[in-house]
C-alpha cells in the first residue's frame, strides 16, 4: 500500500538548516535564527489534516516513509532532496502546527517519521540557500507499508 500527502509552504530568510537530528516544516509565518531545524514556514496543511489511511499506514513500524523537500526559486530553479525514514506505532498526526522528521525514534504529536537518514544539517546547501531565499516549497510525504522489497 502506498499513500501520499503534499504540503505547500515557503522558505524564510532565517532558514539555516543546522540541526543535527531533526527537520521541520511549520504553519508559523515567522522564524527566528534559533529555529535551526525549520526548513519552511506558512505550511498550508498540518499532520492533523492528513487522511486516515495515510496515518494508519505510517503506524506500521515496517513502513518506509520518504519526505521530499523541493524548493523552487523565483527564477524557476528547483532544488530537491529526499529523506527516508520509517513509521512507528505511536505516531498520532494530531499536531495542528508542525511536521517534524527525526533521526531518532522519539515520537510526539509533531513527528511524521522516525529513524530518518538525514536531518536539517545533512541537507544539500544549494537547497538550504534556496530555502533561505524564500523559495516556494513542496513537502511531500509518501508511505509504503510493510517491509521494503
pLDDT score of 145: 82
Instruction: Give every residue of the chain whose pLDDT is below 50, as ranges.
Output: 148-149
The Cα 147–Cα 7 span in angstroms is 26
What is the pTM for the complete model shown? 0.95
CA 90 – CA 26 distance, rounded (Å): 21
Query: Domain 2-144 belongs to what architecture?
Result: Sandwich (2.60)
Strand order in the sheet with 64-72: 2-10, 136-144, 64-72, 78-86
Percent composition of the chain: helix, strand, coil (DSSP 3-state, to 5): 15, 35, 50
What's the confidence (pLDDT) of residue 144?
96
Amino acid at each position: 500500500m502506498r499513500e501520499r500527502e503534499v504540503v505547500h509552504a515557503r522558505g524564510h530568510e532565517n532558514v539555516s538548516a543546522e540541526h543535527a537530528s531533526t527537520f521541520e516544516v511549520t504553519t508559523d509565518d515567522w522564524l527566528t535564527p534559533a529555529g535551526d531545524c525549520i526548513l519552511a514556514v506558512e505550511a498550508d496543511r498540518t499532520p492533523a489534516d492528513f487522511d486516515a489511511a495515510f496515518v494508519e499506514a505510517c503506524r506500521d513500524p515496517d513502513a518506509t516513509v520518504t519526505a521530499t523537500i523541493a524548493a523552487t526559486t523565483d527564477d524557476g530553479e528547483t532544488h530537491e532532496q529526499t529523506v527516508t525514514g520509517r513509521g512507528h506505532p505511536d505516531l498520532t498526526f494530531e499536531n495542528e502546527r508542525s511536521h517534524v522528521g527525526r533521526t531518532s525514534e522519539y515520537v510526539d504529536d509533531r513527528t511524521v517519521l522516525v529513524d530518518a537518514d538525514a536531518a536539517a544539517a545533512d541537507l544539500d546547501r544549494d537547497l538550504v540557500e534556496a530555502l533561505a531565499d524564500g523559495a516556494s516549497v513542496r513537502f511531500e510525504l509518501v508511505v509504503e507499508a510493510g517491509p521494503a522489497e
